[in-house]
Chains A and B, each alone.
Chain A
């Protein structure tokens, strides 16, 4: 059931214009590849449940941001309330890879005082023949910033699930270890509603939200 989830994570998807952010998200949330898509205006919103362990579901709220510079002032506002992010570049577009630094700098400024767990995503990996960025250099860059690297294709549905679920798992581990905690006034992580039957010891923290049972 939709309403039952352990946590809600807000993820932001960023990267240059036309690297395929919206297509990746729609493949993940709608299970299909949208051939034509207009440039995103400002931000768009998607959500999906992910089961990270049997019976343990996380609701992902995904913020799809416009890559276009003119919307930057809008999209910036969304960093702060995200716990995780997918930073996309297009493996067939070297420029979008070079801009990864800028994106990271940009987020660093605007995410304060919180932090975002990022994964670097090399998108459009189905177009291997047109590749302009090698896997090796992308991995190196990711490692330098302490990120994981994954290559995906929305068209061929390669690694799309994995990109989102791996990130979700990593965040979940951090939440479990207390390195990321739910905070008043921060939307990055929220606890969900869990029915009594599924209630287990580690969810006791959320009991105040179920007081009306």
Chain B
């Protein structure tokens, strides 16, 4: 979504804000979800309480080293209710797309504690105030997004006592930023983050951090595990825990394995560089710089809007890009899970009466709708959405892991590291866009199926899908960055072989 579009959307939102519950039509679901999130504050899925002492020294250190958008030390003491995801990711100062996504949960959590447990009317009136406040100053969505994303820093610096209106209006900006990022994951967010951190493009990735992505994810998963174990014993209660599912699909293990290969390669690269000097060193450094360039995901910035692609496009694109890597493995699992998720969505959509999607608030159709998809509750859709996102992300990371292993130990191929980097970067973008598409489709399903649900039931589910999709995209991007040292070492090896010939 372009910035201009975004501005329009925000204006549309103003029109819909009081009546969005009666407007289940497709186009309003995104906008309305933004503010529904705020109304739904009390119902937000509660994450396990963090253990402040468990904040490892390393994590604290990394927070201090790299103050980023998400760096909110005060929050740890001031805000009682941080989600495990929010907390963990914040604590590592992760400068990824997640940051803005996190903003959603942060603000929700923050609003939650700031407000205490207010009466529903209190919330809704405050939300309206806040929303209005946000709109008045809102012709330039880009600024708005930037402000919103950076506001948590201010919050951390002592605006904890801020009245809820301020929090809410901040929330709005952050959320619109988050959703915008989901429209075009990565692009906007990176712009925003790059603004506050000019070196962002160069420093992005896990290599400079003291705590790795898998540690962060493991921490989050363990908390979820703990939560599920303590809260419930019923198997039916095991619903949509992204972290648990991600681990179940072995995403965490593959991520750790990838990190291991990345670290090993990194130290090898250092060793090689330290042994070189003069012209040889300069040439190699230059080539490495080119390689690094391919890892900047520059396409996110260049390409604006792209035509929506057909269903087979993804498979074709991924298969083609993957074949450009010249390795002896195929992304079959990834394609399979993606295809079956799409079939699920298509099946859901075809089970709906046609006119229903077009009509705005036709009571009769709504009644018909209730009969029709009684078989799929909003909880079912949400659970499937989270599961699909976790599965897709896990398989993407598995694919990166296998790719790394084969780059390091596979057959020698006639393809340069830089070309491989370019294909991988393209692949990353395709995957992130796919996640964005998924989040939109799933939330559309939710909006359609949940037309009769109360906002406080539906909204947390919609928020959850957007949030995890945004997180998923950032995990994939971080995993992609882990491949840089792997390709660097294969570049070095290719050179060495060349000079030996």
Could you tell me the distance in whole angstroms from the C-beta of B53 to the nearest C-beta in chain A?
Answer: 10
CA distance A42 to B226 in the complex (A): 31
Q: With A42-B402, A212-B51 in contact, is A193–B230 under 8 Å at CB?
A: yes
Looking at the complex, which one of B230, B234, B235, B409 makes contact with A73 (CB distance below 8 Å)?
B409
List of A residues within 8 angstroms of B415 by Cβ: none
A1 touching B238 by the CB < 8 A rule?
A: yes
Closest CB in chain B relative to A158 CB, distance in Å: 26
> Within 8 Å of chain B (Cβ to Cβ): is A204?
no
Compute how far the CA of A38 lies from the CA of B232 in the bound complex, rounded to whole angstroms.
Answer: 40
Is the CB of A146 closer than 8 A to any CB of chain B? no
Is the CB of B250 closer than 8 A to any CB of chain A? yes
Check A2–B238 contact: CB distance below 8 A. Answer: yes
**B482 CB → nearest A CB, Å:** 14
Q: Main secondary structure on chain B at its contact with chain A?
A: helix
Which residues of chain B from 223 to 239 have a CB within 8 Å of any chain A CB?
Answer: 224-226, 228-230, 232-235, 237-238
Among A86-94, A112-120, A135-143, A194-202, the stretch that binds chain B is A194-202
Number of interface residues of B (CB under 8 A): 32
Is B204 an interface residue when CB atoms closer than 8 A count as contact? no
Bound: A74/B250 CA distance, A: 18
For window 379-437 of chain B, which residues contact chain A by CB distance below 8 Å?
A: 401-402, 405-406, 408-410
Interface hit among A43-51, A123-131, A148-156, A160-168? A43-51
Q: Is the CB of A77 within 8 A of B260?
A: yes
A176 contact set on B, CB distance < 8 A: none
Query: Are A45 and B254 closer than 8 Å at their CB atoms?
Result: yes
Number of residues of chain A lying within 8 A (CB) of chain B: 30
Contacts of B248 in A (CB 8 A): 2, 47
Q: Who on chain A is nearest to B238 by CB? A: A1
B56 at the interface (CB under 8 A from A): no
What is the chain A residue whose CB lies nearest that of B408? A74
Indicate if B491 sits at the interface (CB-CB under 8 A).
no
> Which of A41, A44, A73, A195 is the one whose CB lies under 8 Å from B229?
A195
A2 — nearest CB in chain B belongs to which residue? Answer: B238
Q: Are B229 and A42 in contact (CB under 8 A)?
A: no
Interchain CB contact under 8 A, A213 and B234:
no
Q: Contact check: which of B232, B253, B257 meets A1 at CB < 8 Å?
A: B232
Give the residues from 43 to 87 in chain A that come closer than 8 angstroms, CB to CB, to chain B.
43-47, 61, 70-71, 73-74, 77
Q: Is A3 an interface residue (CB 8 A)?
A: yes
Q: Is A210 an interface residue (CB 8 A)?
A: yes
Cβ of B261: which chain A residues have Cβ within 8 Å of it? 42, 74
Contacts A1-B234, A74-B409 given; does A45 touch B226 at CB 8 Å: no
Of B51, B235, B254, B405, chain A has the most CB atoms within 10 Å of the CB of B405
Beyond A3-B229, A3-B244, whether A42 also contacts B49 by CB under 8 A is no
Q: Is B238's CB under 8 angstroms from A42's CB?
A: no
A209 located at the interface, meaning its Cβ lies under 8 Å from any Cβ of chain B in the complex: yes
| Residue of chain A at shortest CB distance from B49 | A212
A41-B406, A71-B409, A193-B225 known; A210 and B250 CB under 8 Å? no
**Are A193 and B229 CB-contacts (below 8 A) given A3-B244, A38-B329?**
yes
Asked if B73 is at the interface (CB within 8 A of a chain A CB), the reply is: no
Given contacts A1-B233, A2-B248, A77-B260, contact A41 B402 (CB under 8 A): yes
| Contact status A41-B405, CB under 8 Å | yes
The interface residues of chain B lying within 8 Å CB-to-CB of A70 are 409-410
Q: Does B48 contact A (CB under 8 A)?
A: yes
Residues in B neighbouring A193, C-beta threshold 8 A: 225-226, 229-230
Residues from chain A with Cβ under 8 Å of B329 in the complex: 38, 41
When C-beta atoms are compared, the residue in chain B nearest to A209 turns out to be: B226
Residue of B nearest to A196 (CB): B230
Q: Which residues of A contact B257 (CB under 8 A)?
A: 42-43, 45, 74
Instruction: List residues of chain B with CB within 8 A of the CB of A73.
Output: 409
User: Given that A3-B238, A42-B257, A74-B409 are known contacts, is A213 also in contact with B401, CB under 8 Å in the complex?
Assistant: no
Which residue in chain A gives the minimum CB-CB distance to B237? A1
A2, A47, A192, A195: the one within 8 Å of B230 (CB)? A195
For the complex, give the distance between the alpha carbons of A195 and B253 in Å: 25
Q: State which residues 8-62 of A face B: CB under 8 Å.
A: 38, 41-47, 61
Compute how far the CA of A118 lies from the CA of B474 in the bound complex, rounded to whole angstroms: 39
The residue in chain B whose Cβ has the minimal distance to the Cβ of A10 is B253
In whole Å, how far is A196's beta carbon from the nearest beta carbon of chain B? Answer: 7
Tell me if A111 counts as interface (CB < 8 A to partner B): no
Residue of A nearest to B261 (CB): A74
Determine the distance from Cα of A192 to Cα of B229 in the docked complex, in whole angstroms. 9
Q: Is there contact, CB below 8 Å, between A42 and B401?
A: yes
Whether B405 contacts A195 by the Cβ 8 Å rule is no
Q: Tell whether, in the assembled complex, residue B250 and residue A212 are in contact, meaning their CB atoms are under 8 Å apart.
A: no
Please determine whether A61 and B409 come into contact, CB atoms closer than 8 angstroms: no
> A4 at the A/B interface (Cβ < 8 Å)?
yes
B342 to chain A, nearest CB (A): 24
Given contacts A45-B254, A71-B405, contact A1 B48 (CB under 8 A): no
* Choice from A2, A41, A61, A197 contacting B244 with Cβ under 8 Å: A2
How far apart are the CA atoms of A47 and B329 in the complex, in Å?
A: 22
Contact residue among A3, A38, A61, A212 (Cβ-Cβ distance under 8 Å from B228):
A3
User: Complex formed: what's the CA distance from A2 to B244 in Å?
Assistant: 9
- List which A91-117 residues lie within 8 A (CB) of chain B: none
Output the least CB separation between B408 and chain A (Å). Answer: 8
Q: How far is the CA of A210 from the CA of B51 in the complex (A)?
A: 11
**Cβ contacts under 8 Å, B409 to chain A:** 42, 70-71, 73-74
State the Cβ distance, B403 to closest chain A Cβ, in Å.
9
Q: Provide the bound-state CA to CA distance between A209 and B244, in Å.
A: 17
Report how far A39 CA is from B49 CA in the complex, Å: 43
Considering the complex, give the chain A residue whose CB is closest to the CB of B253: A45
Residues from chain B with Cβ under 8 Å of A71 in the complex: 405, 409
Using an 8 Å CB-CB cutoff, how does the interface string of B193-230 with A read, 1 for contact, 0 for none?
00000000000000000000000000000001110111
Residues of A contacting B402 in the complex (Cβ-Cβ under 8 angstroms): 41-42
* Also in contact, A42 and B405, with CB within 8 A (given A2-B244, A194-B229): yes
Distance from A1 Cβ to chain B, minimum over Cβ atoms (Å): 5
Q: Using A3-B226, A42-B402, A47-B248 as known contacts, list a sample of 13 further A-B pairs with CB atoms less than 8 Å apart, ordered by residue number in A.
A: A1-B237, A1-B238, A3-B225, A3-B238, A4-B233, A38-B329, A41-B406, A42-B409, A43-B257, A71-B409, A193-B230, A194-B229, A212-B51
12 A-B pairs within 8 Å (CB atoms) are namely A1-B229, A4-B228, A4-B233, A41-B329, A42-B402, A42-B409, A45-B250, A73-B409, A74-B409, A193-B226, A193-B230, A211-B51
Instruction: Name the 8 nearest CB pairs between A and B, nearest first.
Output: A42-B405, A193-B229, A45-B253, A45-B250, A3-B228, A3-B225, A3-B229, A70-B409
